Amino acid sequence: MKKITIAIDGFSSTGKSTLAKQLAKHLGYVYVDTGAMYRAVALYAMQNNYIGTDFFDKEKLISSLPSIKLHFKFNSELGFAEMYLNDINVETEIRTLEVSNFVSSVAAISEVRTKLVEQQQEMGKEKGIVMDGRDIGTVVFPNAELKIFMTAGADTRAQRRYDELKAKGDSVSYEEVLKNVVERDYIDTHRVDSPLVMADDAIEVDNSYLDRKEQFDAVLELVNDVI
Ligand code: C5P
């Protein structure tokens, strides 16, 4: 069986990472969550006071980029790789609503994207990879053998993200989460550099009414058609 590259893109909280993890596990592929990388850069900007509710010093962030080191390390207990920022595990910190509120502004900066895309291409150069994000099928791996574009209604997505945050003990309201999902989608689809758009050769999967297993089975069929 040949090893391929699987690109999964789509709107916020469409369950991309759940599907990508299932596929990677099943196929014995590496899974890369590129959103975690943008989140880690946003966290760095927050920790250094480059970004806040009413300010964003983009130039400072851009000039600090060489000192931002990102890597993933597989956690066998969890079954997936966790995100490290300058050798510190930030997997929990990057998932907060506060980081979600700043990440899309950070991800709109071209210099940030150039750095991260380079690292992502390096990670995927041997194939046998499932990568999820917003620009994987369009920019990072335009030649990926399989491209999936995931969608679901904003309410469904916000509810899923709300349940996830609540389960982790975060005190957030559903309205805040919905606002964040809608705002991120707006910024991600309207930015100048690599906006979120479905690649011409991607297959759209609307999972509003699919459970995890149904979705996995449907996509696995698509994978089997290619490998
Ligand atoms: O996937 P996740 O929701 O964790 O991504 C967080 C944010 O990172 C997105 O809303 C988007 O602004 C940015 N992102 C991106 N390109 C990617 C992955 C994520 O711009 N490939």
Whole-number Å distance, alpha carbon 183 to ligand 1 midpoint, is: 12
The residue range of the domain holding 129 is: 5-213
Ligand 1 nearest-atom number relative to CA 188: 12
On the CB side of 52, how many CA atoms lie within 13 Å of its CA?
Answer: 6
The single residue listed with the structure tokens 């990879």 is: 129
What residue owns the CA closest to ligand 1's atom 12?
104
pTM listed for this prediction: 0.97
**CA–CA distance from 51 to each of 61, 101, 114, 171 (Å)?**
9, 11, 20, 22
Specify if 226 maps to a domain. Answer: no
Specify if 220 maps to a domain. Answer: no
Number of independent structural domains in the chain: 1
ipTM: 0.99
Return the CATH number at 185: 3.40.50.300
Q: Ligand 1, residues 9, 44, 103: which to mutate, most atoms within 8 A of Cβ?
A: 103
Per-residue pLDDT of the chain (227 residues; tens, 9 = 90+): 889 999 999 999 999 999 999 999 999 999 999 999 999 999 999 999 999 999 999 999 999 999 999 999 999 999 999 999 999 999 999 999 999 999 999 999 999 999 999 999 999 999 999 999 999 999 999 999 999 999 999 999 999 999 999 999 999 999 999 999 999 999 999 999 999 999 999 999 999 989 999 999 999 999 999 99
Give helix 97-107 / helix 174-190 axis angle, nearest 10°: 10
What residue owns the CA closest to ligand 1's atom 2?
35
| Nearest one of 62, 70, 120, 118 to 91, comparing CA atoms | 70
Pocket of ligand 1 (CB under 6 A): 12, 34-35, 38-39, 103-104, 107, 133-135, 184, 188
Per DSSP, helices labelled H in 86-173 are: 97-107, 110-123, 154-167
